[in-house]
Structure formats: structure tokens, C-alpha cells
Structure 1
Amino acid sequence: MLAAERREHLLALLARTGKIVAKDVAADLGISEDSVRRDLRDLAAEGLCQRVYGGALPASPAVVDYDARRVVAPEGKRKVAAVAAALVRPGGSLILDGGTTALAVARALPQELTCTVITHSPTIATALIDHPGAELFLLGGRVFKHSAVTCGAAAVEAAQNVSAELCLLGVTGVHPEAGLTTADADEAAMKRALAARAADTYILASCEKIGTASPYRVLPWEKITGLITDADPHDTVVGRLRALGVKTLTAE
């Protein structure tokens, strides 16, 4: 089999099964695992898969820069945001992550709602400046321009001195095996710090993130309260998540 044919085979397998196990592909095709791993490295370099130990998973489309993410699945993000915003009770406190889905949540908070919002995103804070009932706390630190949020040691330390009832957290990948992932190590650490300061943590995940993975793990499933997604409730991956005990709120 030619290299181009192997590549097409691997992409088709990834689309059909949601993962690639290198040793199984090597046995099926009668080639070495080294050849499969080389193919996977090439595909990963083009952003077509996320390499993991022993093979590969679908790569998240949500790892592009902030401006590019604004046009990815806007309707799905709006649906997720509506469900998430409804979780914020009057007089309640909210830790709101950065990113485009979190921005949609900020915009979905009812104007009459009185609440406290803690965020490490200047974009989120700006979006809520004119919200009459929202008291804002902006956590400082090094600005990670890719996602328009603060992170690093100073931001993590600031997060450790706040607390809230609810944390709404964004990720770039949601996969039964890889877990909750994102594309930057410092950002993953900041997300963990934020989640640790809330009584309940819900993950915001529009459907294009379901079944995909990014390089850095954020949280194990047992550390979250639930997942909010507009993915089809009958989707195979959603079913696997439920089998793991993950509470799923469907955004319609």
C-alpha cells in the first residue's frame, strides 16, 4: 500500500471509529508499527489527528486562534450558553472561563440578574461592563493572547484566593478516553485552578468538540459536575460519556 493510500485509510478509520490503535492497523495492513507512527506524525503535523500513546484520536477544531474560533459553530455555542446561563441563580457567584463559548454565556446572562462574576478573561469582563447587576472580579496575570485570558503563576495564585458556587469551564476536546483537554499546558493549569474554587463545575462543549482531543489534560471526569453540549443525545460518544457516569445537559 502506498503512503497516500495508508493516509486515506487512517483518516477513514479515524472518522469511522473515533480512534486509531497503531498496532492493530499495522497488523491489518501487514506493515510495521513504525510506518503507522510515521504516518500519524505526518497527519498530526497537518492538524488532522491528535497523537496519543499507542495511536491517535480526532484532533479538536477548536485549537485555532481566538478570532478564528468566533466563527466556529456559533449556533451550537449559543445553545450551550443558554443552558449554562440558566444555572446561574439570582444573587449567585460564578467563575466564568474565557473563550468564545464563555463569551456567549456572558451575553446570555439576563440583564435583570444580580450576580458576581469572577473571570480571568478581559474579553468576558468587557462584555459584562454594561450588565447592571453583575459585580465583576478580573483575575490578573500573564495574558495568553491565543485565548484572550490570563494564566501563569500570578493568575493561578489569584484564583486560589476566590471562591464561587458555580464554575463554567471551556475545553477544546471532550473524549471518553482522553478526557477533558486543551491545547496549552499553562491554560490547562489555570482551568484546574478555577474549577478547584467552585462548588460545582460544568464543562461547556459545543458538538464539534465531542469525540476530539488536544494535547493537555484539564480534569478527570470525577472532578466535574456535568457537561453541557448541543451534541445529539444519541451520539455514540455522548452515550459512552453517560456510561462513565458523566451528567449531560442537552442544549437544544
Structure 2
Amino acid sequence: MLSVQRKQQILALLAAENQVMSRELSQRFGVSEDSIRRDLRELAAEGLLQRVHGGALPVSAAIAPFETRKNVQISSKQAIARKAVQLIQPGQVVILDGGTTTTELVRALPADLAFTVITHSPGIAVALVDFPQVEVIMLGGQLYRHSVVNVGATVLQAVALINADLFFMGVTGVHKTAGLTTGNYEEAGVKRALAARAAETVVMVSREKLNSASAFAIGDLSLASTLIVDGEPDSAMREALQQQQVALL
């Protein structure tokens, strides 16, 4: 079998099973694990999968530039936002992550809902200017342009002083074994720190992020209290969420 044919079959298996292991692929195709690892390296370089220890996972489609992501799965993000807004109670302290889904959450807010928002996203802070009942606390730091959020030591110092009711977290991938992931090391650290300072972490997941992974781990599925998903997760994902005691909306 030619390498190009083997790669096509690897991608087909990955789409069907949401995970492939190098050893199993080696046995399946009758080639060395070195050959399989080379195939995976080349597929990863083309952006077609995410390599992990021992194999590969589907790559997240949510790592495109911010302007591109604004036009991806808009109706899905809006449906998630409407459900998320229902979780916010008057007077609460709520951390809002950056990203296109949390932008839709802001747009879905009732005009008379009074609560406090803490955010490290300049875009989210500016969008809340039109909501006079919402007090906005902005966490400053170095701007990570891809996600339009602040990252770095200054953000982490400020996060340590917070006790919030809810944290609405954006991710680029949710996978039963890889957990919650994103595409930037510093951003993953900020998300992890914010989750540690909230009583509940709500992860909002549009369809293209399910059963996929990015390079940097935020944490296991258990980091989330609740997962809001537009659509039906497969049985394996449902079982993983149930085992980790993550509520599914």
C-alpha cells in the first residue's frame, strides 16, 4: 500500500473512531511504527490531525483566526448563548472568557440583568458598555491577538484575587481522553487559573469542537461543572461526561 493510501485510511479511521493509536495502525497496515509515526507527522503538518502520545486525535477546527471563526457555526453559538444566559442570576459575579461564543452570550443578555462581569477580553469588555446594569472588571495583561484576550503574569496575579460564581469558558476542543484543550500555552494557563477561582465552570461547545483536540491541555473533563452543547454528543462522550460528573445541557 502506498503511503498516500495509508494516510487516507488513517484519516477515515480517525473520523470514525475519534482516536487512532500508532501500535494498532502498525499492526493493521503491516508496517513499522516508525512508518506510522512518519505518516502522522506529515498529516499533522498539513493540519489534518493532532498528534498525542501514542497516536493522534481529530484536530480542532476552532483554531482559525478570530475573524474567520466569527462566521463559523453562528446558529450553533447563538443557541448555546441563549442557554448559557439562563444560568446567570442577578447579583452574581461571572467570569466571561474571550471568543466568538461568549460574544454571542453578551448579545443574548437581557438589558435589565444586573450582575458583575470579570473578563480578560477587551472585546467582551467593550461589548458590555451597552449594558448599564452590568459592572465590568477588566483584567489587563499582554494581548494575545488570535483570541483577543489578555494573558501573562499580570492576568494570573489578578485572577488570584477573584471569587466568582460562574466562569463561562471557551475551548477549541473537547475530547473524552484529551479533555479540554486550546491552541495556545499561555491562554490554557489563564483558563485553568480562572476555573480554579469560580464555584462552577460552564464550558460552551459548538459542534465543530466536539471529539477534537488542540495542542495545549486546559484540564480534564472534570474541570467543567457543566457542558453546554448544540447537538447530541455520541455515546462515548456522554459516558465520559457522566463518569466525570459533568452536567450536560
Structure 1 length as normaliser, TM-score? 0.95
SS in 2 for 1:62: coil
Distance in 2 between the 1:81 and 1:60 partners? 20
For residue 111 of structure 1, give the secondary structure of its aligned residue in structure 2: coil
Question: Secondary structure of the equivalent of 1:61?
Answer: coil
RMSD of Structure 2 on Structure 1 (CA): 1.2
Query: One-letter code of the match for 1:154?
Result: T
**What does 1:163-178 align with in structure 2 at a 5 Å threshold?**
163-178=163-178
Of 31-40 and 154-163, deviating more is 154-163
Amino acid aligned to 1:155:
V
Structure 1 residues 230 and 237 mapped into 2: Cα distance closer, same or farther (>3 Å)? farther
Read off the aligned partner of 1:21 and give its amino acid letter.
M
Question: Which residue is 1:82 aligned to?
Answer: 82
The answer as to whether partners of 1:20 and 1:56 remain within 8 angstroms in 2 is yes
* Structure 2 contact 221–246 (Cα < 8 Å) conserved: no
Task: Report what 1:247 is aligned to.
Answer: 246
Partner SS for 2:71: coil
Cα-to-partner distance string for 1:185-217 (whole Å, 9 max, x where unaligned):
100000011111111111111111010001111
Q: CA deviation at 1:237?
A: 4.1
Tell me the distance in 2 between the aligned counterparts of 1:140 and 1:63: 23
**Which SS does the other structure have where 1:162 is aligned?**
coil
**1:211-248: CA deviation from partner (whole Å, max 9, x where unpaired):** 00011110223332111111315x23432333423434
Distance 2:33 2:150 in 1: 41
Query: Distance in 2 between the 1:244 and 1:51 partners?
Result: 25
1:224 corresponding residue in structure 2: 224
SS in 2 for 1:213: coil
Deviation at 1:148, TM superposition (A): 0.1
Say which is worse superposed, 191-200 or 145-154, in terms of deviation.
Answer: 191-200
Query: Aligned runs of 1:49-198 on 2, under 5 Å?
Result: 49-198=49-198
**Separation of aligned partners in 2, 1:141 and 1:188:** 15
- Secondary structure, counterpart of 1:238 in structure 2: helix
C-alpha distance after superposition, 1:43-82 (max 9, x if no partner) = 1111110000010000000011111111111111111111
List 4+ stretches of structure 1 deviating above 3 A. none
SS of equivalent residue, structure 2 residue 214: coil
Identity between Structure 1 and Structure 2 (%): 45
Amino acid at match of 2:23: K
Q: Distance in 2 between matches of 1:220 and 1:11?
A: 25
Q: Secondary structure at the match of 1:36?
A: helix
Q: Tell whether the 8 Å contact from 1:221 to 1:246 is kept in structure 2 after alignment.
A: no
Code of the aligned partner of 1:214: S
> How many residues in Structure 1 have an aligned counterpart in Structure 2?
249
Structure 1: runs of 5+ lacking an equivalent? none
- 2:18 equivalent in structure 1: 18
Task: Measure the CA separation in 1 of the matches of 2:19 and 2:244.
Answer: 21
Find the aligned partners of 1:208 and 1:148 in 2 and give their Cα distance.
20
Q: SS in structure 2 opposite 1:129?
A: helix
Contact 1:175 1:237 in 2 (8 A): no
Whole-angstrom CA distance in 1 between matches of 2:94 and 2:86: 12
Which structure 2 residue ranges, 5 or more long, are not aligned?
none
Change in CA separation of 1:176 and 1:71 when aligned onto 2, cut-off 3 Å: same
Q: The residue matched to 1:204 in structure 2 has which SS?
A: strand
Listed as ranges, the matches of 1:24-39 within 5 Å are 24-39=24-39
